[in-house]
Structure 1
Amino acid sequence: MTLSFFQKFWSVLANDIMAVISSFFHLGQLLTAINHTFISLIPKIPNPSLVSHYRPISLCNTLYKQILDNVMIAHDYLHFLNGKHKGNNRLMAIKLDMSKAYDKIE
């Protein structure tokens, strides 16, 4: 389900989602189904006959794949790199545009 689905039906889903997240912080356990990913093969051409004629697409659960989490991780990583500039041991980060590297379905 997409983020727009969760936004549209947040009034219905909010209590259940917040209960799952709260139980994670109190018990340290998360429902295993949240971590499941489905892989689907999308045909690249009409009437595909070989495996190479398909494009694999990962369908991740939206709760598991939150963009905000990635932003926070990137922020923490850049903050760490900013403090590591002593001597000849230097670190760097490279920004990649992953939307150009992979096909996507929206």
Structure 2
Amino acid sequence: MADFQKEEVVEAVKSKSPLKAPDMIKGRKDLQEINGTNIVLIPKTNSPSNMNQFRSISLCNMLYKIISKILVNRFRKVLNICIDEYQCAFILGRQITDNILVAYKILHSFKKKKKGSTESFALKLDTSKAYDRVELNFI
């Protein structure tokens, strides 16, 4: 991978809110914290009583965010080639709700087929809480 160019770094820094990391943007640096990440627990309920009722979130430092932004800007140029057309979330110009129409069309085509046909099947998966069930040791 090519070295970062000054223009890429400037663009990435300017894209960040000045309130997110004012010390970094103003030139004050604490090199001891450069690789630090804070992990914070966010409650899922109003009165959490056990650890299952929290979701963890990692608060990354500004340098990490700048590097990530530069990489995202570089990858954005080739994402449409690398990612299937049915991947709708997290791609600029696509929305996850687009898949609702695709699912409707597929189910409609199943309904039009002759009864007794064994050529197609549908599978519905509920992944709404998939990340709540991942063991921390696995991550």
Short-chain TM bin: 0.3 to 0.5
Q: Select the structure that is richer in helix.
A: 1
Q: Which has the larger radius of gyration?
A: 2
TM-score by length of 1: 0.46
TM-score by length of 2: 0.38
